[in-house]
Structure 1
Amino acid sequence: MAEETNAPAAGDLRGRRRGQGELEAQVLAVLQRAPGPATAGWVQEHLDGGLAYTTVITILSRLHAKNAVSRTRSGRSYLWQAASDAAGLAALRMRRVLDGEPDRDAVLASFVTALLPHDEELLRALLDSASADPAVADRES
């Protein structure tokens, strides 16, 4: 007798827990592939997994609050456009975690000591190039 399973079909987003920010990243990726500003309905149609329209609107609104997407009024609805990429969204999440901690120095020190050697080298190179950039130097003063 075949065993019954409640597991979702491949590609189906319903019925399983998603990692923090996973849906936001998927919606952002769909918007980046759009030929131009897109409606929430267009985004919904191009997502795998049959999310409810209201869920897509909620995700788009959250991305808008994070400045990851922009929106312009079109009749009674909005047209949405990506303003950031997945890396920018991940960086925002990292900054929010850091901002929520009382001892930023300890958190940053712990983060840096846990980096793989290649990642540490990359971070040092990025920090060096950022400190040489006059726009970044102006922001720090």
Structure 2
Amino acid sequence: MASLGDLERSVMELLWSTEGAHTANELRDALPVGDESGRGVATTTVLTVLSRLERKGFVARAREKRPHRYRALLSREEHTAELMREVLDQSSDRDAALARFVGTVSTGEAATLRRVLDELAQR
């Protein structure tokens, strides 16, 4: 899975935190002000970022009418799980990597892991 730059991450955070699909202008208006001059990001810059995100498989573009609308293809949680899977796939010893990861989780997170594993075992 491709990594995200700062602006790409900001756009994805907006798409993940809101319902439905959005135009580049709507996303531009919702982005925090860009630099110390108080100027925001240009619409063309947002369109470029959205095009990159589409090529990377993060967003889908509805082309039926203009302006085009963009929506996230994966939820934030699905994206995080994919990143975790990618990192795990790069490990030469998956069992050791999993054991180390599990050793770092909180008591609440461990309970969640137990619950999810129990649900998987019952399928």
TM-score range relative to shorter protein: 0.5 to 0.7
Gapped regions of structure 2 (runs ≥ 5): 34-39
The answer to whether structure 1 residue 33 and structure 2 residue 18 are counterparts is yes
Task: Quote the RMSD (CA, aligned, Å).
Answer: 3.0
Larger radius of gyration between Structure 1 and Structure 2: 1
Establish whether residue 91 from structure 1 lines up as the match of residue 62 from structure 2: no
Give 1:84's aligned amino acid: L
Offset at 1:79?
2.1
Larger deviation, residues 86-95 vs 55-64:
55-64
For the structure 1 residues 30 and 95, does the alpha-carbon distance in structure 2 shift closer, same or farther, using more than 3 Å as the test? same
Provide the rounded CA distance (Å) in 1 between the counterparts of 2:62 and 2:24.
Answer: 12
Deviation at 1:115, TM superposition (A): 1.5
1:57 offset after TM fit, Å? Answer: 3.8
Q: Report SS of the residue matched to 1:94.
A: helix
Gaps in structure 1 of 5+ consecutive residues: 1-19, 134-141
After TM superposition, list the pairs within 5 Å mapping 1:44-55 onto structure 2. Answer: 44-49=28-33, 50-53=40-43, 55=45
- One-letter amino acid matched to 1:33: T
Change (3 A) 1:96 1:117: same
For 2:29, the aligned partner's letter is E
Where relative contact order (Cα < 8 A, 6+ residues apart) is larger, the structure is 2
- State the TM-score, normalizing by the size of structure 1: 0.59
Identity of aligned residues (%): 38
Distance 1:46 1:94, change over 3 A: same
Aligned equivalent of 2:90, options 100, 107, 112 = 100
Instruction: Show the counterpart of 1:122.
Output: 112
Deviation at 1:110, TM superposition (A): 0.7
Q: Deviations over 1:23-77 (max 9, x none)?
A: 555423422425x422223211211122344553454345445644322224687
Matched residue pairs, number?
113
